[in-house]
Structure 1
Amino acid sequence: MKTSLTSRPAAATQTRTAPYLRALLLGGLAIVGSAGTALAQSAPAVKAKQADAQALWLTVENPAQQRLQMQVVSLDNSTCLVNEVNHLTSYGSKLNFKGMPAGQYAVLLRVGRERFRYSVDVQGKAQTTISVRELTPAKSPEAVAVVR
């Protein structure tokens, strides 16, 4: 059995496939662009604010419903005081340090692979006041970050 192959002129092939290639490329670019937008929208957003002299507000927007863990640890004796785990899309907590013994505490947040840490200094048990270093404006170049 003989098979004969005939080649088409290059120009004719190019004009027929060019629209399909263009559409394929544009479709691929649209998918890549929307995937980047979806990834940006699914990233967790964490906000911390010192509510008053005794409390810290934490809010987390977790649209991808990743594992969210919040811990409050006493750094003076390595005791975990709070350990919450959930997968909520939106989470808020007011941490009230009123009546807590004076000392150093760490508030640790993990949202998926992201980690956040806030250092809380509690002064006085009778008249509790806290200061959160990460929430005060940077005064020296040693400051790691300022959270707003």
Structure 2
Amino acid sequence: MAMMKHAWDNYKRYAWGLNELKPISKQGHSSNLFGNIQGATIVDALDTLYIMEMKEEFKEAKEWVEKNLDFNVNAEISVFEVNIRFVGGLLSAYYLSGEEVFRKKAVELGEKLLPAFNTPTGIPWALLNIK
């Protein structure tokens, strides 16, 4: 629990809303795997926060998702990375908590990702502009 609290508190202090924290430089960073979608660490951590009963942190993360998680970007994203980090994070948070916001966001993003799976070969595209 202490390690998760330490990691979460430092992410919140140095990189809140960005996709990653560089721990040595204490700088927030957002890789281009997600285009301009922000908050991968927040979404990724939702299930862990819930399971570890970090209620205040879960509440803050949920509020960030409600107010700031935006998929209306004109950018090329990695279908795989967005699928596992965002869709997976949102669905696991919904499954555990029953909070409707997570289901709605997962459906919204899933619909934007659908064209990547409609290919002549059946193999999804690696990259997709979700606009």
Structure with the higher strand share, 1 or 2: 1
Q: TM-score range by the shorter chain?
A: under 0.3
User: Which of 1 and 2 has greater Rg?
Assistant: 1
* Structure 2 length-normalised TM: 0.24
* Structure 1 length-normalised TM: 0.22
Greater relative contact order (CA < 8 Å, ≥ 6 in sequence): 2
